[in-house]
Amino acid sequence: MLRRIAITLLFLMQVLSAITVDAQNNDTVRLYFKLDIDALDRNTRNTVDSLLYNDIVSSSDKLLIVGYTDYIGTNEYNNDLSIRRAQNVKSYLLNMGVNSNDITLCTGKGEIERNIELPDGYASDRRVDIVRIMKPPTQRPTVKNKITKTQTIKSAHQYEPISFNSSSDLDISNIPIGQRLVLDRIFFYTGRHMITSESMPELHRLFQLLDENITLKIKIEGHVCCVDPTVDALDIDTKEQALSVNRAKFIYLYLIERGIEKERLSYEGFGKSRPLRPREFTQEDQDMNKRVEFRIVDK
């Protein structure tokens, strides 16, 4: 028992030491969990996706992953729960293309002590901290804006989206895997996943692109504006908080009904977790954020 306590203290000292040494260069992101839950829910996954998408967590940073719990439950259970939370975050990051060598520590610190205990605990204590040990700017390697077929699609957030409508003679051979194209001539009714009649030419053009390039695979990605980044907008047709998902799914189903093999298609909604305009001061900002894109997955 004493040996286990000593090992735990050693781990905590390592975490605190690493944080103290690079305090001026660190940045911490907190991911929150529900009571007694160690799995990442959809909002937490969207948060991590946004960190990677916007290069808040980049390949040039070293990461410490530290899990916590509130004081509800036994010490032994909370220690195990905090470790499981940290390990699940690590697994998700690895699955999204983060190099395992860049995660220098993954551990749990158990419960956070509080002088005043509440019946339901403190929601802010049920979390995992991702601590970035950032290199000085002069040490950052130059990253070329290039991606090959052998690189993971999950690293392709580096590409700025381009307009599908402006590319009248789209040559797939010149477009890299991972490139995003905005379907900016597809319009939806406000608060609904149904498209207007003006959208049909653009939708038909997307079908033709897939029909003429039989090896092309795409992922359809929905985005909305004007909501909290941690939630999706309400779809008034289905009464679901999943407007970005349902808009992407609508295009996915249309293409399948036209004869495109579903194995070549996938879809996902990101709510407002990946805005092109972080601050929506104008109608143009909102229009830029409420969009549907498709990403080149393979060709």
In order of start, what are the domains of the chain with their CATH numbers?
Answer: 10-139 (3.30.1330.60), 153-298 (3.30.1330.60)
What pTM, to 2 d.p., does this model score?
A: 0.50
Sequential pLDDT tens for the chain (299 residues):
555 555 444 444 443 433 333 333 347 788 999 999 999 998 888 888 877 776 667 656 788 899 999 989 899 999 999 999 999 999 998 888 888 888 888 999 999 888 787 888 888 899 998 887 755 544 444 433 333 333 333 444 456 788 887 655 678 888 899 899 999 889 888 889 999 888 999 999 999 999 999 999 999 999 998 888 888 888 888 888 899 999 999 999 999 999 999 999 999 999 989 888 888 878 888 888 889 999 999 99
Contact status, residue 119 vs residue 71, Cβ threshold 8 Å: no
Q: What's the confidence (pLDDT) of residue 24? A: 36
Query: Cα 8 to chain center, whole Å?
Result: 32
Which of 52, 63, 58 lies closest to 143, judged by CA?
58
Strand-by-strand arrangement of the 127-133 sheet: 26-32, 127-133, 62-69, 103-111
Which of 29, 31, 11 lies closest to 110, judged by CA?
11
